[in-house]
Amino acid sequence: MPRFAANLTMMFNEHAFLDRFAAAADAGFDAVEFLFPYDHPADEVGKRLQQHGLTQALFNLPPGNWDAGEKGFAALADRFADLQNSIRTALPYAKATGVKRLHLMAGIADRRDAKAVAAFQKSVAWTADALGQHGIDTVIEPINPRDVPGYFLDDFAFARDVIRDLDIPTLKLQFDIYHCQIIHGDVTMRLREMMPIIGHIQIASVPSRHEPGSEELNYPFLFAELDRLGYTGFVGCEYRPRGNTLAGLGWFAPYANARKGAKS
């Protein structure tokens, strides 16, 4: 049965960020993820997790100036020092939350540029080694060009090849089903092929990026497929609710109830 993590950046926006931990726990989630925790003290984020019995599934390394359009540094040859600093910024949050995987963002760059490719490979290898020394996996995620035009890492096969070529045990693929469907389609076959290198999965409906119970994808089938493939990691709910978060959790209720029954 999938282990779902509520994405607190997108879900439960009816509450202030630090209050979303309680809201997620009350709704039946036992894990959370979010994009960035850096606007809040690390100890306070860790405290909210502990108070509500939640596991931190994932968050992103600092991306640079997000409001100005920056989406990470990994493929930017002249920003390697910023990448190194981003690791130092993230580690106190990793320690406070106990997170076991961090997402390294590639940045806006041309994947046809050999310098960008070399910079990305160097950054990924360095980050995986640095975080691995703290018992943390590094995950890289292809993102579709409709949502983030110009994002360097926009192809699942390229990400797979980087992971296999570097051959670092703590380097994994962040497989966002929403992004995969938009970029390539054929989600099930890609899950089957790439499962050995997948470290985290995320979901949303396509094309709207709302709750995963409607539109193009048959999510009950995909959740059962994850079980058939033996996936035991987290499934991050990185979607934008159509309205009130709780009102849109009908898709989640059967899984929450089944997990509650298994625990009792």
**80-97 and 114-132 helices cross at what angle (nearest 10)?**
30
Give the active site residue among 14, 44, 215, 238: 238
Q: Are 75 and 51 in contact (CB under 8 A)?
A: no
Whether 141 is catalytic: yes
CA 182, CA 186: separation in Å to the nearest integer?
10
Burial 138-156 (b: 16+ CB within 10 A, else e): bbbbbbbeeebeebbbbeb
Of 186, 222, 190, 184, the closest CA to residue 204 belongs to 222
73 secondary structure, DSSP code: S
Backbone dihedral angles phi then psi of residue 113, each to the nearest 5 degrees: -85, 115
Whether 225 is catalytic: no
Give the active site residue among 141, 193, 211, 216: 141
CA diameter of the chain: 55
Active-site residue numbers? 141, 238
